[in-house]
């Protein structure tokens, strides 16, 4: 029989195959394709890049950031440049607004907690001392104070009225501080003994520079890893493995594992919506109750995963998996183009150059600023 496909469909398959996108996807007119973590635009420049290029860009950017926040090579300006490039990649993929709405607050919370930890536990002397405060005297005192009784009373009273603890602890802390500073600071000492050594909170200009660079670096590295999970599809990973001549069975089971991951994410959303439909979200719960609900959700999730695995094994056995000598060629493969080779080369050359030359964007910018003055 001759080719029953129309010339237009043949041309469509030829073009989409060269880009690594299936003809059925192009025919469906889908604007977005599913990735590991979210989805991206099917016609974006990032989607047309080879998957190995995206991996090299993320790894190269992370290595460059790691070099830039070393103690002897603090370079916040360079880290900001890498972060801008990471945001540009996410923007070109068409998912920037979703990242800002969902994941940027999480990154800010993480960076804030890390900065506070670094400032408290890593004091560094500098040219200017901003804060010098003794946090712990080296002596543990066990006793009773007026502000402690006020704190406990406010927390218990808030629990009896609102059945909550978070805002009660905050109100109790404020009330205890006010009582201790303006009313009475009397206390009764029951026991006192030395433990460890005195701790002092010392914040200088060098401490701020080091903490800011470290936290900014970890934030950019997290953004790179997050962006990589948002612009990689499981089918592209399998296509790359087949392109590198991995055996068909091995690449097939890799595709099943990747597909199971995204399917588990969908199952989690289905279970959560079912619980909300049954009224599980109508009652306000503490953080411990939310953790308990998350643990209980694992039971139906594991059951659904095992059921789907059994069905998949039965379907493979019924279709004679493993007996095919010449399996159907996999379509989700992308050829290496010139832009991919250039991007991979830059992702390798730039970190190596930064490591061996010691180039610092911050110092260079500061020198240019001084020369302009």
Q: What secondary structure does DSSP assign to 215-271, as a single string?
A: HHHHHHHHHHHHHHHHS--HHHHHHHHHHTT--HHHHHHHHHHHHHHHHHHHHHHHH
pLDDT score of 23: 38
Return the pLDDT at 346: 93
Task: Indicate the pLDDT class of residue 244, thresholds 50, 70 and 90.
Answer: confident
Domain boundary assignment for the chain: 7-124+209-233+332-373, 139-195, 248-330
Give the residue-averaged pLDDT of 135-151: 82
d(CA 296, CA 286): 15
pLDDT greater than 90 at residue 65: yes
CB distance 35 to 233 below 8 Å: yes
Rounded distance, CA 69 to CA 217, Å?
A: 6
Q: In terms of pLDDT, which residue wins out, 57 or 300?
A: 57
Most confidently modeled of 3-7, 24-28, 345-349?
345-349
Q: For 132-138, what is the mean pLDDT? A: 78
Mean pLDDT of 238-257: 76
Q: Cite the DSSP H helix spans in the chain.
A: 7-19, 23-28, 45-48, 51-68, 76-92, 96-102, 104-121, 146-162, 166-178, 205-230, 234-243, 248-277, 287-318, 338-357, 361-372
**What is the C-alpha separation between 93 and 58, in angstroms, rounded?**
14
Q: What is the pLDDT of residue 27?
A: 38
Q: Which pLDDT value is given to residue 82?
A: 94
Q: Is residue 300 exposed (0-12), middle (13-18) or buried (19+ Cβ within 10 Å)?
A: middle
pLDDT attached to residue 284: 64
Q: Report the pLDDT value the prediction gives residue 2, as an integer from 0 to 100.
A: 44
Indicate whether 309 pLDDT > 90.
no
Per DSSP, 72 falls in state T
Instruction: Output 170 or 331, whichever has higher pLDDT.
Output: 170
pLDDT-based confidence at residue 9 (cuts at 50, 70, 90): very low
Q: What is the average pLDDT value for the chain, to the nearest integer?
A: 79
pLDDT at 149: 87
The confidence score (pLDDT) of residue 148 equals 85
pLDDT in tens, 188-214: 777 888 887 777 778 888 888 888 888
Q: Are 64 and 351 in contact (CB under 8 A)?
A: yes
Highest mean predicted confidence (pLDDT) among 71-75, 93-97, 286-290, 362-366: 362-366
Please give the average per-residue pLDDT across 232-237, as a whole number.
Answer: 78
Q: Give the pLDDT confidence score for residue 12 in this predicted structure.
A: 45
pLDDT of the residue at 184? 76
109-123, 178-192, 280-294: least confident range: 280-294
Do 206 and 126 form a contact (C-beta atoms < 8 A)? yes
More confidently predicted of 33 and 26: 33
Helix pair angle (146-162, 166-178), 10° resolution? 150
Where residue 30 falls among pLDDT bands split at 50, 70, 90? Answer: low
Residue 11 has pLDDT above 60, yes or no: no
pLDDT at residue 64, rounded to an integer: 94
Averaged over 154-176, what is the pLDDT? 88
The highest-confidence range among 156-165, 200-209, 272-281, 291-300, by mean pLDDT, is 156-165
pLDDT at 359 over 70: yes
In the predicted structure, residue 20 carries a pLDDT above the cut 50? no
CA angle 227, 349, 345 (to 5 degrees): 70
Could you give the count of Cα atoms lying within 13 Å of 277 in the half-sphere of its Cβ? Answer: 6
Per-residue pLDDT at 63: 94
């Amino acid at each position: 029989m001759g080719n029953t496909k129309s010339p237009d469909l043949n041309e469509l398959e030829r073009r989409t195959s060269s880009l690594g996108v299936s003809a059925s996807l192009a025919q469906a007119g889908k604007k977005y394709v599913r990735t590991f973590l979210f989805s991206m635009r099917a016609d974006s420049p990032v989607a047309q890049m080879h998957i190995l290029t995206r991996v090299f860009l993320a790894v190269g950017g992370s290595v460059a950031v790691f070099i830039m926040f070393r103690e002897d090579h603090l370079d916040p300006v360079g880290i900001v440049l890498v972060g801008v490039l990471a945001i540009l990649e996410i923007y070109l993929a068409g998912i920037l607004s979703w990242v800002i709405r969902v994941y940027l607050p999480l990154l800010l919370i993480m960076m804030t907690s890390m900065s506070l930890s670094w400032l408290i536990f890593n004091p560094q002397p500098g040219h200017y001392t901003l804060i010098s405060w003794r946090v712990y005297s080296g002596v543990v005192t066990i006793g009773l104070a007026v502000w402690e009784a006020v704190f406990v009373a406010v927390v218990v009273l808030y629990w009896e009225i609102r059945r909550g603890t978070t805002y009660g602890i905050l109100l109790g802390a404020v009330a205890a501080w006010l009582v201790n500073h303006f009313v009475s600071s009397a206390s009764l000492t029951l026991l006192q003994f030395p433990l460890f050594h005195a701790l002092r909170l010392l914040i200088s200009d060098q401490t701020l520079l080091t903490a800011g660079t470290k936290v900014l670096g970890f934030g950019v590295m997290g953004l790179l890893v997050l962006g990589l999970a948002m612009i990689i599809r499981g089918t592209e990973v399998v296509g790359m493995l087949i392109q590198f001549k991995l055996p068909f069975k091995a690449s097939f089971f890799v595709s099943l594992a990747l597909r199971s991951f995204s399917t588990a994410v969908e199952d989690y959303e289905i279970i959560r919506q079912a619980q909300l439909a049954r009224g599980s979200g109508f009652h306000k719960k503490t953080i411990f109750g939310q953790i308990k609900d998350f643990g209980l959700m694992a039971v139906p999730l594991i059951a659904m995963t095992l059921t789907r695995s059994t069905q998949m094994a039965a379907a493979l056995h019924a279709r004679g998996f493993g007996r095919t000598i010449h399996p159907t060629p996999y379509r989700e493969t992308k050829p290496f183009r010139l832009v991919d080779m250039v991007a991979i080369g830059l992702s390798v050359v730039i970190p190596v150059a930064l490591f061996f030359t010691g180039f610092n964007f911050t110092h260079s910018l500061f020198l240019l600023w001084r020369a302009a003055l």
